[in-house]
Amino acid sequence: MNKLKTDNTGGWPLELDDMDFAEAAVREAFYGLMSAFGIAPQDSFIISGCAPDSGNYDAGYICLNGEILKVVGAVIPTPGGGEVLYWDLDITYDTAGREQFENSSTNDTYQIRRGKLKSATLTADTYMPFEADTLAEKLATLAIEQIPNVQDPEHTVGDGATGLGTTFLGSDPWTSYNVAVKFFKDINGVVHLSGNVLVPTVAGTQIFQLPVGYRPAQDRSVILSRSRVFSSGNSCRCWIRANGMIEPQSGDFTNAETINFDSISFKSAS
């Protein structure tokens, strides 16, 4: 990694750019370590802690857009109508770092950067959701890719032989489109979904139900890509319930659209 060379003599004219150089070196080293696991600098994930606990969330650490942030446990905000829970950067200042400069101005120099759970109405799908993947889940996914044929085989929804009793729901049932909807659980207990569903003409709000052993410990929400069959589309919020039910957000889809499940993964409850 880069290093700020401090053994020169003769009166070093230390400037703020020198500190920026040293800080950038640490960040670059972190990105280098994460790249070994297929994690990009702009990725966001939970490093440790931050789990819900009786209306609160635990202390821990997150990586938000490539920056490691400490999280102080607090009460989980109550979302209003249409709002979502997401992790954001919260900036405060330590008064011990309030300094008087040569031009007589007083400035805060100790910036405290923390991760904080917030609630707001967000239209873009680029934010870090409360139920974001953990670092352990990301590493487990990579491990499975490197060690094939050791995890649970893929199960196809609606297939009598491999689907474990799953079936598409509704009086006008949902169906797979082009790529069959499948699920499996890896050796670390992380469940992965894949494939596309076609929204039927009369669409119910329940697509199918995952069997016991393939369900999350608590309700999770994810943002999925959706599109018209013959044109590009947008995104769709989908719930994976603790009872295994897969439920797209009402109003986020219309008939003849497809919804892609490839981004869904979560730790199973058992």
State the DSSP code for 216.
Answer: B
> In angstroms, rounded to a whole number, what is the distance separating the alpha carbons of residues 157 and 261?
12
Query: Taking residues 199-209, what's their average pLDDT?
Result: 89
pLDDT band at 124 (very low <50, low <70, confident <90, very high): low
Threshold 0.85, pTM exceeds: no
Predicted confidence (pLDDT) per residue in 180-197, tens digit: 999 999 888 899 999 999
| Residues 236/259, Cβ–Cβ less than 8 Å | yes
* For residue 229, pLDDT beyond 60: no
pLDDT band at 75 (very low <50, low <70, confident <90, very high): very high
pLDDT in tens, 137-162: 878 777 766 665 556 889 999 998 89
Q: State pLDDT tens for residues 7-41.
A: 777 777 777 787 788 787 877 887 888 777 777 77
Lowest-confidence pick of 61-75, 200-214, 246-260? 246-260
231 pLDDT tier (thresholds 50, 70, 90): very low
What domains appear along the chain, each with residue ranges and CATH number?
37-129 (no CATH), 141-267 (2.60.40.1830)
